[in-house]
Amino acid sequence: MSVALRNAQRAVPVRRAPLRRAVCALRAALGASRFDVGLVCAGNALMRRLNGAYRQCPEPTDVLSFPFHRVVAGELPRPRCRDEYNLGDIFLGVEYIHQQCRATGEDFDSVLAVTAAHGLCHLLGYQHNTKPQWQQMYQKEVEILEALNRLTGASLRPLTAGLF
């Protein structure tokens, strides 16, 4: 269905069209093209507030995901009506991501796409609290990023390679 993208910050310019196309391709690679997803580009202040409120960690972060459905990793939601064709919302900490990219020299647009892939996986029940969970999520991220790479000619990889 649709990707609703909102830029709720002014600190960093965001190229919305390429980000929207990447999220649509990633959603398709997950088999979830029929589902809506909200994508909010947020600054450090908003990410700090959300991270504090929902994860008790009042620091800015790169991504927070708020799933509409609770599903087991690897399963798609089973909506009962049209209004339930929604994966949820992803908040991308674009100011935080931009600061990290400036420090590491990584391409900002590429890291945004990879971070969005990570957020989409969270919307579909993937977690990384334990090594087995991380392995499952990492493999799914590799899979969907490879699909995006085939479409774009990029060579994107998950950011969580050394988590465990």
Number of domains in the chain: 1
Q: How far apart are the first and last CA of the chain?
A: 35
Q: Which range marks the domain in which residue 22 is found?
A: 3-152
Q: Which letter does DSSP use for residue 115 in this model?
A: H
Residue 140 domain-assigned (yes or no): yes
Residue 161 domain-assigned (yes or no): no
Averaged pLDDT, 91-104:
97
Residue 95 domain-assigned (yes or no): yes
Residue-wise pLDDT for 115-150, tens only, equals: 999 999 999 999 999 999 999 999 999 999 999 999
Q: What does the pLDDT read at residue 1?
A: 74
Q: What does the pLDDT read at residue 160?
A: 78
* Residue 164 confidence (pLDDT) above 80: no
Give the pLDDT band (50/70/90) at residue 161.
Answer: confident
Measured in degrees and rounded to the nearest 5, phi and psi for residue 44 equal -60, -35
What whole-number percentage of the chain has pLDDT above 70? Answer: 100
Q: What does the pLDDT read at residue 137?
A: 96
Query: What is the rounded CA–CA span in Å between residue 82 and residue 96?
Result: 35
Residue 8 domain-assigned (yes or no): yes
Residue 127 domain-assigned (yes or no): yes
Residue 163 domain-assigned (yes or no): no
Residue 20 domain-assigned (yes or no): yes
Which residues have CB under 8 Å from 137's CB, separation 6+? 73, 121, 126, 127, 128, 160
Residue 157 domain-assigned (yes or no): no
CB 75 within 8 A of CB 31: no
User: CATH code at 95?
Assistant: 3.40.390.30
CB 16 within 8 A of CB 110: no
